[in-house]
Chain A
Amino acid sequence: MPADAWVLPIGGYSSSGVVNRRAQGSNTPDPLDRGDMAGYTTGRIDDTTLVREAQRGNRTAFEELVRYYDQPVLRLAMHLTGSQTDAQDVYQEAFLKAYKSIGNFRFECSFYTWIYRIVTNICLDHIRKRNVRKEDAPVATDQSGDEFDLLSQVPDGRATANPERDLMARELGSRINRALEKLTPRERMVFELKHYQGLKLRTVGEILHTTEETAKNTLFRATQKLRGALADMR
């Protein structure tokens, strides 16, 4: 933690208190190579200061952190669960858990990695529970359940002028979803974080408490399985 972080003005987060995180030389690694994380701009208070304040019980500081990270969290949860309702539940559970246990955050990793760790754990539980439900169901092979078909969640307004192409895209999306569901929860998570969320494998390893090398191997296995399941798409 940079020493000057202690002297940052906190109250009210006014424009005078806004600090350029990169200009400070914070050791918090850049979380994404997508570069499109909500709130990840050069003009905001650094995470370390906000986390310190949140650890002292400052709820406003915590809500500020939520605003920086909640959109990528929602995006990940929506894509993994295929449901806005489930995504909202994941969001709620993850940030509440983070709020309650932020006192345990030791700055051994970035807050971004830490919150993603919580989110991915909740999502992994969600995927496992869903897999168990499907195994228990007598008609497990029935893939017509709209609950897991993400494309069915796409708003109508996004429909293109070409209905035939739109239908093909929906069918393709359904097939990909079914292939993804055949991966192990961990393979699914690595593939999701790498391919769809665009994270570096080093970051994926940190989030999933594993090494970059293991994340690479898991990504290779997941890709091989998906290529096998979607062979005719190649």
Chain B
Amino acid sequence: MKCEWVHENIVLFVYNELADDARFELEQHLARCPECTAELKAVRKFHVALSSLPVEEPSPNLVAAARMRLQEALETAEQGGVWQRLTFDPWTWLRQMRFSPALAAVLLIVGFAGGIGATYSIFGNRGPVAVDTNSSAPSQASITGIRSVIQEPGSDKVTIKFDTTRTEDVEGSINDQRIQQLLLFAARNNYNSGVRMDSVDLLTQTPNDAHVREALIYALRYDSNPGVRLKALEGLSGYVKSDTRVRDAILEALMNDSNSGVRTQALQLLRPVTADSSVRNVLTQLSQNDKNQYIRSQARNMLAQLPEID
């Protein structure tokens, strides 16, 4: 063992702070090293000399005075614990949880219940706020688009207009007004030409209705499917004489329709009204200029059959 190590640890030896094994080694060294023994003697002497600065015990009067002063201050002092109790301390909470498994279980149950309740209340409140109560329940239909969102000034009420798609079945007579309306709608708006065809076909059974005739004229003019247009022509055939609007629509089809079958059918429908000046003008034009040879010859024949007007 080196003397240096002893010199470094001799202070701890004097203060009785050395571990037992180190103390034993140091004592063994001191027994055979006079230099280190002299150092120990010097340190002990110094240790005693430092005690010349006494450690005074506080007098009873001083203690009493200090306690009284503190007691007075404590009467007005606020414990920090007041705020700590009001503020959430996760560490304290966890410590209490450790000792209170029952409380933990209760908190979990309350948490779950609160969460479920909150979910219901949130979704329960959203319905009447977001949806016009006059309309049908939107949950049963998918929303295809929002038309408008209007908030009433000074309140939290909001009116939203939206479109929904919903599949419904309606049964009824062909003369039923509701069925008629649906057929008219289908004849004009449906993207499926087969559905339009069926609708127009059904509408031709009741062409007396003005709305139905309008729908048939519309189909003749604008429907992209020639079959639908032919069906419309068929439905309108009885009104070529009596309804000039029908006649004009058929003339228009005769002049401009892209389908020769439609034009031929239109031409046949106009036979009863060839005396009409507008029909005659059209026939004249067709007989001279039409690209379709059959149309030209048919127009010429029809014109030839007309009585001469001088």
Contact = CB atoms under 8 A, between A and B. Distances in A.
Q: Do A and B bind each other?
A: yes
Interface of A: 55, 57, 59, 62-63, 66-67, 70-71, 74-75, 78-79, 84, 87-88, 91-92, 95-96, 99-104, 106, 150-151, 153-155, 169, 172-173, 176-177, 180, 194-197, 200-201, 216, 219-220, 223, 226-227, 230, 233-234
Given A74-B58, A220-B11, A96 B46 contact: no
A196 B47 CA distance: 11
Interface in B119-137: none
Interface in B45-59: 45-47, 49-50, 52-59
B79 A91 contact: no
Given A70-B67, A84-B62, A91-B66, A226 B50 contact: yes
Given A62-B74, A70-B67, A88-B66, A55 B81 contact: yes
A194 B58 contact: no
B42 interface: yes
A169 to B, nearest CB: 6
A84 B56 CA distance: 11
7 cross-chain pairs, A with B, having the tightest CB-CB distances, nearest first? A103-B81, A74-B58, A172-B52, A176-B53, A103-B84, A173-B53, A100-B80
Interface string B72-115: 01100111110011000001000000000000000000000000
Interface in B27-59: 42-43, 45-47, 49-50, 52-59
B15 interface: yes
A233 B49 contact: yes
B101 to A, nearest CB: 15
Given A75-B57, A177-B53, A200-B17, A233 B63 contact: no
Contact of A88 (B56, B62, B79): B62
B180 to A, nearest CB: 82
B70 A95 contact: yes
A226 B46 CA distance: 9
Interface in B163-179: none
A141 B309 CA distance: 146
B258 interface: no
Given A154-B54, A173-B53, A234-B42, A96 B62 contact: no
Contact of B80 (A95, A104, A151, A197): A104
Contacts of B79: 57, 99-100, 102-103
Interface string B12-24: 1001010000000
Contacts of B63: 70-71, 74
B147 interface: no
Nearest to B83: A103
B69 interface: yes
Nearest to A150: B53
Given A95-B70, A100-B79, A196-B53, 20 more contacts: A59-B74, A66-B67, A70-B70, A71-B57, A84-B58, A91-B70, A96-B70, A96-B77, A102-B79, A103-B79, A150-B53, A150-B54, A154-B56, A155-B59, A172-B49, A172-B53, A176-B49, A195-B50, A223-B43, A227-B46
Nearest to B62: A84
Contacts of B85: 103
B65 interface: yes
A87 B17 contact: no
A95 B53 CA distance: 27
Contacts of B42: 234
B159 to A, nearest CB: 54
A63 B55 contact: no
A4 to B, nearest CB: 14
B67 A79 contact: no
Contacts of B54: 150, 154, 173
Nearest to B45: A234
Given A200-B17, A223-B11, A99 B77 contact: yes
Given A74-B66, A88-B66, A196 B55 contact: yes
Most buried by B among A67, A71, A155, A169: A71
Contacts of A71: 57-58, 63
Contacts of B78: 100
B89 to A, nearest CB: 9
A94 B145 CA distance: 71
B58 A75 contact: yes
Contacts of B70: 66, 70, 91-92, 95-96
A102 B12 contact: no
A105 to B, nearest CB: 10
Contact of A220 (B8, B50, B53, B91): B8
17 contacts: A57-B79, A75-B55, A75-B57, A84-B62, A88-B69, A91-B66, A99-B74, A99-B77, A99-B79, A100-B78, A104-B84, A172-B49, A173-B53, A196-B53, A227-B46, A230-B46, A234-B45
